[in-house]
Protein backbone atom coordinates (compact mmCIF):
# COMPACT_ATOMS: atom_id res chain seq x y z
CA UNK A 1 0.00 0.00 0.00
CA UNK A 2 2.88 2.40 0.76
CA UNK A 3 4.27 1.93 -2.75
CA UNK A 4 0.83 2.38 -4.31
CA UNK A 5 0.35 5.67 -2.46
CA UNK A 6 3.78 6.84 -3.58
CA UNK A 7 3.08 6.06 -7.22
CA UNK A 8 -0.34 7.67 -7.03
CA UNK A 9 1.08 10.89 -5.63
CA UNK A 10 3.74 11.03 -8.30
CA UNK A 11 1.26 10.53 -11.11
CA UNK A 12 -1.21 13.07 -9.80
CA UNK A 13 1.53 15.64 -9.39
CA UNK A 14 2.87 14.85 -12.85
CA UNK A 15 -0.39 15.68 -14.61
CA UNK A 16 -1.29 19.33 -14.05
CA UNK A 17 -4.85 20.04 -15.09
CA UNK A 18 -3.99 23.57 -16.15
CA UNK A 19 -2.50 22.32 -19.40
CA UNK A 20 -5.99 21.40 -20.53
CA UNK A 21 -7.40 24.88 -20.07
CA UNK A 22 -7.08 25.78 -23.75
CA UNK A 23 -10.35 25.35 -25.59
CA UNK A 24 -12.47 24.82 -22.47
CA UNK A 25 -14.37 28.11 -22.64
CA UNK A 26 -16.63 26.85 -25.40
CA UNK A 27 -16.66 23.22 -24.22
CA UNK A 28 -19.98 22.16 -22.69
CA UNK A 29 -21.00 18.94 -20.94
CA UNK A 30 -22.73 16.43 -23.18
CA UNK A 31 -24.60 13.17 -22.75
CA UNK A 32 -23.72 12.06 -26.27
CA UNK A 33 -22.06 8.62 -26.35
CA UNK A 34 -18.72 8.74 -28.13
CA UNK A 35 -16.25 6.04 -29.10
CA UNK A 36 -12.48 6.54 -29.13
CA UNK A 37 -9.81 4.12 -30.33
CA UNK A 38 -6.81 2.96 -28.28
CA UNK A 39 -4.18 0.84 -30.02
CA UNK A 40 -1.20 -1.08 -28.68
CA UNK A 41 1.18 -3.70 -30.01
CA UNK A 42 0.94 -5.73 -26.80
CA UNK A 43 -1.37 -8.78 -26.43
CA UNK A 44 -4.50 -8.39 -24.27
CA UNK A 45 -3.18 -10.67 -21.49
CA UNK A 46 0.06 -8.70 -21.08
CA UNK A 47 0.36 -6.02 -18.37
CA UNK A 48 0.06 -3.32 -21.04
CA UNK A 49 -2.95 -5.05 -22.58
CA UNK A 50 -4.62 -5.33 -19.19
CA UNK A 51 -3.83 -1.71 -18.43
CA UNK A 52 -5.49 -0.66 -21.67
CA UNK A 53 -8.64 -2.56 -20.71
CA UNK A 54 -8.51 -1.07 -17.20
CA UNK A 55 -8.24 2.43 -18.64
CA UNK A 56 -11.23 1.78 -20.91
CA UNK A 57 -13.24 0.40 -17.99
CA UNK A 58 -12.46 3.42 -15.81
CA UNK A 59 -13.26 5.93 -18.57
CA UNK A 60 -16.65 4.30 -19.05
CA UNK A 61 -17.30 4.31 -15.32
CA UNK A 62 -16.21 7.91 -14.74
CA UNK A 63 -18.10 9.24 -17.75
CA UNK A 64 -21.32 7.43 -16.75
CA UNK A 65 -21.12 5.37 -19.94
CA UNK A 66 -20.87 8.32 -22.32
CA UNK A 67 -17.23 7.76 -23.31
CA UNK A 68 -16.26 4.32 -24.61
CA UNK A 69 -12.67 3.38 -25.39
CA UNK A 70 -12.42 0.63 -28.03
CA UNK A 71 -9.15 -1.23 -27.42
CA UNK A 72 -7.19 -2.70 -30.35
CA UNK A 73 -4.35 -4.84 -28.91
CA UNK A 74 -1.76 -7.10 -30.53
CA UNK A 75 -0.78 -4.79 -33.41
CA UNK A 76 -4.30 -4.84 -34.88
CA UNK A 77 -3.85 -1.24 -36.08
CA UNK A 78 -0.22 -1.66 -37.13
CA UNK A 79 3.24 -1.80 -35.62
CA UNK A 80 4.38 0.70 -33.00
CA UNK A 81 5.58 3.21 -35.61
CA UNK A 82 2.22 3.04 -37.40
CA UNK A 83 0.35 3.60 -34.13
CA UNK A 84 2.58 6.46 -32.96
CA UNK A 85 2.24 8.13 -36.36
CA UNK A 86 -1.53 7.67 -36.10
CA UNK A 87 -1.68 9.37 -32.70
CA UNK A 88 0.46 12.26 -33.93
CA UNK A 89 -1.75 12.70 -37.01
CA UNK A 90 -4.96 12.27 -35.02
CA UNK A 91 -6.18 9.11 -36.76
CA UNK A 92 -5.74 7.06 -33.57
CA UNK A 93 -7.02 8.63 -30.35
CA UNK A 94 -4.87 6.91 -27.70
CA UNK A 95 -2.04 4.45 -27.39
CA UNK A 96 -0.07 2.86 -24.60
CA UNK A 97 3.46 2.70 -25.92
CA UNK A 98 7.06 3.35 -25.03
CA UNK A 99 9.13 6.42 -25.75
CA UNK A 100 11.64 5.22 -28.37
CA UNK A 101 9.50 6.27 -31.34
CA UNK A 102 9.08 9.72 -29.81
CA UNK A 103 12.87 9.90 -29.41
CA UNK A 104 13.04 10.06 -33.20
CA UNK A 105 11.18 13.38 -32.95
CA UNK A 106 12.86 14.71 -29.80
CA UNK A 107 16.28 13.40 -28.80
CA UNK A 108 15.72 14.26 -25.13
CA UNK A 109 13.14 11.46 -24.99
CA UNK A 110 15.95 8.93 -25.16
CA UNK A 111 16.52 9.56 -21.46
CA UNK A 112 13.46 7.45 -20.63
CA UNK A 113 14.88 4.27 -22.21
CA UNK A 114 18.62 4.79 -22.30
CA UNK A 115 20.73 1.86 -21.03
CA UNK A 116 21.94 1.67 -17.43
CA UNK A 117 20.48 5.04 -16.42
CA UNK A 118 17.95 4.03 -13.74
CA UNK A 119 18.85 2.26 -10.52
CA UNK A 120 15.59 0.30 -10.44
CA UNK A 121 11.89 0.55 -11.32
CA UNK A 122 11.07 2.86 -8.39
CA UNK A 123 13.71 5.30 -9.63
CA UNK A 124 12.14 5.34 -13.11
CA UNK A 125 8.64 6.00 -11.76
CA UNK A 126 9.96 8.83 -9.58
CA UNK A 127 11.76 10.43 -12.52
CA UNK A 128 8.52 10.57 -14.50
CA UNK A 129 6.95 12.61 -11.71
CA UNK A 130 10.00 14.84 -11.18
CA UNK A 131 10.43 18.37 -12.51
CA UNK A 132 13.10 17.12 -14.93
CA UNK A 133 10.83 14.37 -16.25
CA UNK A 134 7.94 16.78 -16.76
CA UNK A 135 10.20 19.26 -18.56
CA UNK A 136 11.19 16.60 -21.11
CA UNK A 137 7.56 15.67 -21.73
CA UNK A 138 6.56 19.32 -22.09
CA UNK A 139 9.22 19.72 -24.78
CA UNK A 140 7.72 16.75 -26.62
CA UNK A 141 4.26 18.35 -26.51
CA UNK A 142 5.68 21.61 -27.87
CA UNK A 143 7.35 19.77 -30.74
CA UNK A 144 4.69 17.20 -31.67
CA UNK A 145 1.45 18.24 -29.99
CA UNK A 146 1.33 14.86 -28.25
CA UNK A 147 1.22 14.50 -24.46
CA UNK A 148 1.40 11.81 -21.81
CA UNK A 149 -1.66 11.21 -19.63
CA UNK A 150 0.06 8.73 -17.34
CA UNK A 151 3.10 6.56 -16.80
CA UNK A 152 3.04 2.75 -16.58
CA UNK A 153 6.04 0.65 -15.61
CA UNK A 154 6.75 -1.74 -18.47
CA UNK A 155 9.60 -3.78 -17.11
CA UNK A 156 13.34 -4.22 -16.76
CA UNK A 157 14.73 -5.60 -19.98
CA UNK A 158 16.88 -8.75 -20.01
CA UNK A 159 18.48 -10.76 -22.80
CA UNK A 160 17.35 -14.27 -23.74
CA UNK A 161 19.16 -16.71 -26.02
CA UNK A 162 18.52 -20.18 -27.31
CA UNK A 163 22.05 -21.57 -27.07
CA UNK A 164 24.48 -19.03 -25.58
CA UNK A 165 24.71 -18.68 -21.77
CA UNK A 166 26.59 -15.38 -22.02
CA UNK A 167 27.91 -13.61 -18.95
CA UNK A 168 29.89 -10.84 -20.66
CA UNK A 169 29.53 -8.69 -23.79
CA UNK A 170 32.36 -10.63 -25.41
CA UNK A 171 30.33 -13.84 -25.12
CA UNK A 172 27.44 -12.21 -27.03
CA UNK A 173 29.73 -11.57 -29.99
CA UNK A 174 28.05 -12.87 -33.15
CA UNK A 175 24.71 -13.55 -31.42
CA UNK A 176 21.85 -12.21 -33.55
CA UNK A 177 19.63 -10.44 -31.07
CA UNK A 178 16.21 -9.17 -32.08
CA UNK A 179 15.44 -5.64 -30.94
CA UNK A 180 12.83 -3.01 -31.81
CA UNK A 181 13.44 -1.19 -35.08
CA UNK A 182 14.50 1.98 -33.29
CA UNK A 183 17.99 3.53 -33.18
CA UNK A 184 18.20 3.58 -29.39
CA UNK A 185 17.69 -0.18 -29.10
CA UNK A 186 19.84 -1.04 -32.09
CA UNK A 187 22.74 0.95 -30.63
CA UNK A 188 22.25 -0.53 -27.16
CA UNK A 189 22.30 -4.13 -28.40
CA UNK A 190 25.39 -3.42 -30.47
CA UNK A 191 27.11 -1.82 -27.46
CA UNK A 192 26.40 -4.96 -25.42
CA UNK A 193 28.33 -7.04 -27.92
CA UNK A 194 25.54 -8.70 -29.92
CA UNK A 195 24.46 -8.25 -33.52
CA UNK A 196 21.23 -6.21 -33.52
CA UNK A 197 18.47 -7.60 -35.73
CA UNK A 198 15.49 -5.24 -35.82
CA UNK A 199 12.06 -6.67 -36.58
CA UNK A 200 8.41 -6.12 -35.77
CA UNK A 201 7.26 -7.33 -32.36
CA UNK A 202 4.63 -9.63 -33.89
CA UNK A 203 7.31 -11.54 -35.84
CA UNK A 204 9.62 -12.38 -32.94
CA UNK A 205 8.27 -15.75 -31.78
CA UNK A 206 8.49 -17.32 -35.25
CA UNK A 207 11.95 -15.84 -35.81
CA UNK A 208 13.18 -17.39 -32.55
CA UNK A 209 11.52 -20.69 -33.34
CA UNK A 210 13.02 -20.89 -36.83
CA UNK A 211 16.44 -19.65 -35.78
CA UNK A 212 16.31 -16.48 -37.87
CA UNK A 213 17.56 -14.78 -34.72
CA UNK A 214 19.40 -16.31 -31.76
CA UNK A 215 17.77 -14.29 -29.02
CA UNK A 216 15.89 -11.17 -28.04
CA UNK A 217 15.66 -8.63 -25.21
CA UNK A 218 12.50 -7.78 -23.27
CA UNK A 219 11.15 -7.64 -19.71
CA UNK A 220 10.08 -10.91 -18.02
CA UNK A 221 6.35 -10.19 -18.39
CA UNK A 222 6.72 -9.76 -22.15
CA UNK A 223 8.88 -12.86 -22.46
CA UNK A 224 6.22 -14.98 -20.76
CA UNK A 225 3.04 -13.47 -22.26
CA UNK A 226 4.54 -13.72 -25.75
CA UNK A 227 5.71 -17.27 -24.91
CA UNK A 228 9.31 -16.57 -25.88
CA UNK A 229 10.34 -18.88 -23.05
CA UNK A 230 9.08 -21.79 -25.18
CA UNK A 231 11.80 -21.16 -27.78
CA UNK A 232 14.60 -19.77 -25.58
CA UNK A 233 16.75 -21.55 -23.01
CA UNK A 234 18.70 -18.83 -21.19
CA UNK A 235 17.58 -15.64 -19.48
CA UNK A 236 20.57 -13.35 -18.92
CA UNK A 237 19.75 -10.71 -16.30
CA UNK A 238 21.51 -7.81 -17.95
CA UNK A 239 18.80 -5.42 -16.71
CA UNK A 240 20.13 -3.05 -19.35
CA UNK A 241 17.03 -0.87 -19.70
CA UNK A 242 14.43 -0.07 -17.04
CA UNK A 243 11.50 0.88 -19.24
CA UNK A 244 8.09 2.42 -18.99
CA UNK A 245 5.22 3.07 -21.34
CA UNK A 246 2.80 5.98 -21.32
CA UNK A 247 -0.79 6.70 -22.24
CA UNK A 248 -0.37 9.01 -25.23
CA UNK A 249 -2.87 11.26 -26.94
CA UNK A 250 -3.01 14.46 -28.95
CA UNK A 251 -3.09 17.55 -26.72
CA UNK A 252 -5.51 19.41 -29.01
CA UNK A 253 -7.81 16.37 -29.12
CA UNK A 254 -8.23 16.46 -25.34
CA UNK A 255 -8.42 20.26 -25.14
CA UNK A 256 -11.43 20.42 -27.50
CA UNK A 257 -13.51 18.01 -25.42
CA UNK A 258 -16.25 19.09 -23.01
CA UNK A 259 -14.73 19.51 -19.56
CA UNK A 260 -16.73 16.64 -18.09
CA UNK A 261 -15.25 14.32 -20.70
CA UNK A 262 -11.73 15.61 -20.08
CA UNK A 263 -12.14 15.10 -16.35
CA UNK A 264 -13.28 11.50 -16.83
CA UNK A 265 -10.34 10.64 -19.08
CA UNK A 266 -7.72 12.36 -16.90
CA UNK A 267 -9.01 10.71 -13.72
CA UNK A 268 -9.16 7.32 -15.46
CA UNK A 269 -5.58 7.70 -16.74
CA UNK A 270 -4.29 8.50 -13.25
CA UNK A 271 -6.13 5.59 -11.66
CA UNK A 272 -5.20 3.14 -14.41
CA UNK A 273 -1.54 4.13 -14.08
CA UNK A 274 -1.48 3.46 -10.35
CA UNK A 275 -3.21 0.12 -10.86
CA UNK A 276 -0.92 -0.86 -13.75
CA UNK A 277 2.29 -0.05 -11.89
CA UNK A 278 1.33 -2.18 -8.92
CA UNK A 279 0.24 -5.00 -11.21
CA UNK A 280 3.43 -4.84 -13.32
CA UNK A 281 5.70 -4.84 -10.26
CA UNK A 282 3.93 -7.91 -8.92
CA UNK A 283 3.83 -9.81 -12.22
CA UNK A 284 7.47 -9.14 -13.05
CA UNK A 285 8.54 -10.76 -9.80
CA UNK A 286 6.23 -13.72 -10.37
CA UNK A 287 7.31 -14.26 -13.98
CA UNK A 288 11.01 -14.24 -13.05
CA UNK A 289 10.35 -16.99 -10.54
CA UNK A 290 8.24 -19.02 -12.95
CA UNK A 291 10.78 -18.85 -15.76
CA UNK A 292 13.40 -20.46 -13.55
CA UNK A 293 11.19 -22.96 -11.72
CA UNK A 294 8.28 -23.83 -14.00
CA UNK A 295 9.25 -22.92 -17.56
CA UNK A 296 12.65 -24.58 -17.67
CA UNK A 297 14.81 -21.54 -18.40
CA UNK A 298 18.27 -21.19 -16.93
CA UNK A 299 18.64 -17.84 -15.17
CA UNK A 300 22.12 -16.36 -15.54
CA UNK A 301 23.58 -13.60 -13.37
CA UNK A 302 26.06 -11.93 -15.74
CA UNK A 303 28.94 -9.56 -15.11
CA UNK A 304 26.66 -6.54 -15.07
CA UNK A 305 29.49 -4.07 -14.59
CA UNK A 306 31.04 -5.32 -17.83
CA UNK A 307 27.80 -4.55 -19.67
CA UNK A 308 27.59 -1.13 -18.02
CA UNK A 309 31.17 -0.35 -19.04
CA UNK A 310 30.43 -1.42 -22.61
CA UNK A 311 27.47 0.96 -22.79
CA UNK A 312 29.26 3.98 -21.30
CA UNK A 313 30.46 5.35 -24.64
CA UNK A 314 26.87 5.20 -25.87
CA UNK A 315 25.69 7.20 -22.85
CA UNK A 316 28.37 9.80 -23.55
CA UNK A 317 27.02 10.15 -27.09
CA UNK A 318 23.41 10.35 -25.89
CA UNK A 319 24.27 13.06 -23.39
CA UNK A 320 25.54 15.25 -26.22
CA UNK A 321 22.19 14.74 -27.98
CA UNK A 322 19.77 15.27 -25.09
CA UNK A 323 21.73 18.12 -23.55
CA UNK A 324 24.32 18.39 -20.78
CA UNK A 325 23.08 18.05 -17.24
CA UNK A 326 19.99 15.93 -17.90
CA UNK A 327 21.63 12.65 -16.92
CA UNK A 328 22.81 14.25 -13.67
CA UNK A 329 19.24 15.39 -12.97
CA UNK A 330 17.99 11.84 -13.49
CA UNK A 331 20.54 10.35 -11.16
CA UNK A 332 19.81 13.02 -8.54
CA UNK A 333 16.20 11.80 -8.23
CA UNK A 334 15.86 9.90 -4.97
Euclidean distance between CA atoms 284 and 225, whole angstroms: 11
* pLDDT tens per residue, range 78-121: 999 999 999 999 999 999 999 999 999 999 999 999 999 999 99
Domains 2-154+245-286 and 158-240+294-325 are alike in CATH topology: yes
CATH architecture, domain 158-240+294-325? 3-Layer(aba) Sandwich (3.40)
φ/ψ region of 155 (left if φ > 0, alpha if ψ in -120 to 50, else beta) reads left
Beta-bridge partner residues of 176: 195
- Determine the Cα–Cα distance for residues 127 and 331; give it in Å rounded to an integer: 9
What is the β-pairing status of strands 146-161 and 234-250? Answer: antiparallel
List 298's β-bridge partners, or say none.
Answer: 234
| 277-316 residue pLDDT tens | 999 999 999 999 999 999 999 999 999 999 999 999 999 9
Mean pLDDT of the chain: 91
Contact 84, 280 (CB under 8 A): no
Q: What span, in angstroms and rounded, lies between the C-alpha atoms of 231 and 161?
A: 9
Per-residue pLDDT band at 14 (split at 50, 70, 90): very low
> Would you place residue 320 in the very low, low, confident or very high pLDDT band (cuts 50, 70, 90)?
confident
Per domain, the residue ranges of the chain are 2-154+245-286, 158-240+294-325
Q: CB under 8 Å to 208, separation ≥6 — which residues?
A: 162, 178, 215, 216, 228, 231, 232
Superfamily of structural domain 2-154+245-286: Bacterial extracellular solute-binding protein, family 7 (3.40.190.170)
pTM of the model: 0.88
| Stretch 66-78: mean pLDDT | 97
Which pLDDT band holds residue 74 (cuts at 50, 70, 90)? very high
Amino acid sequence: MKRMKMIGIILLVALPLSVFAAGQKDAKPTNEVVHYRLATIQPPDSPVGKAALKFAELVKEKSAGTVLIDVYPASQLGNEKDIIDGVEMGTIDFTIAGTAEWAKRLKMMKIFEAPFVYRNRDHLVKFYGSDAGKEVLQELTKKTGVKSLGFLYYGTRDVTTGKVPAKTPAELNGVKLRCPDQPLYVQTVKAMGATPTPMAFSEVYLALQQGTVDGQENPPATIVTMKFHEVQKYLIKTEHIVAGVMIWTKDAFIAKMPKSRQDAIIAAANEASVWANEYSFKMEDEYLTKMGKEYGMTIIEPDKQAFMNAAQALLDTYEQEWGPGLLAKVRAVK
